[in-house]
Amino acid sequence: MSGNNESRLILALDVYERERALKIAEQTAEYLWAIKVNWPLIIGSGLGIVTELKDATGLPIIADLKLADIPNTNRLIASRVFEAGADYIIAHGFVGSDSVRAVMELGKTIIVVEMSHPGAKEFIQPATDKLVELANRLEPFGVIAPATRPERVAYIRSRLNSEVKILTPGVGAQGGKAGEVLKAGADYIIVGRSIYASENPRESARRLYEETMEV
């Protein structure tokens, strides 16, 4: 099963079980640009799932580790995860440019500049301008911004270098709408529960894919 280069849909594959993850990935791959692997799947199935998902789907794999440590520890973690076949790693920017650079020296990196949940307003949103400046300086592949607040995505887009992509979680289960956030300037939407927890993941992915194609 091969993926779709024109797709703007990323599957957040937040299940524990290896078999279930591989099945959903194969069913939905046709409609996806990439698969995002987060701690639940790594804890449940081991880091080898990254290689297995790549082999099964041919899709890029985003390791969503939200790395937030000193440069040396970020480097120790990221080197093994890139070796396992991850194409991108997500890192937090608030720990500072040296920590982010340690990941960027090893491979393509995505920096969190604002998160999608209500609590993001407490500490992360007040720092978003500085995190966007950091991204403009370091020029990572992309940044994470909230699909739950399209107006913030538009704001971040207006301040961010145009070559840096915006990836937005929060569509579906968290209330965000695919069309709205893509119109606001997102390049990709990241969707988890609305696909993997639905009765028919393939059909849910297809519908979301069609929605993104209409924008």
- Mark whether 55 is an active-site residue: no
Q: What beta strand segments (E) does the chain contain? A: 9-12, 34-38, 61-67, 88-92, 108-112, 142-144, 165-169, 188-191
Contact status: 172 vs ligand O7E (CB under 6 A): yes
- Residue with the shortest CB distance to ligand O7E: 192
Q: How far is the CB of 64 from ligand O7E (least distance, A)?
A: 5
* Binding-site entries: 14, 36, 64-73, 116, 169-179, 192-193
| Nearest CB to ligand O7E, comparing residues 84 and 111 | 111
| Nearest CB to ligand O7E, comparing residues 36 and 75 | 36
Applying the rule CB under 6 A, the residues between 186 and 205 that interact with ligand O7E are 190-194
Q: Binding pattern to ligand O7E, positions 130-149, x when CB under 6 A? A: --------------x-x---
| Nearest CB to ligand O7E, comparing residues 75 and 152 | 152
Applying the rule CB under 6 A, the residues between 74 and 113 that interact with ligand O7E are 90, 112
Count of CB atoms within 10 A of residue 151's CB? 10
Ranges of H-type helices in 48-146: 49-57, 71-83, 97-104, 128-138
Six-digit token pair at 125? 């949103």
The helix/strand/coil state of 122 is: coil
For the purposes of burial, counting CB atoms within 10 Å of the CB of 41, is it exposed (0-12), middle (13-18) or buried (19 or more)?
Answer: buried
What residues act catalytically? 64, 66, 69
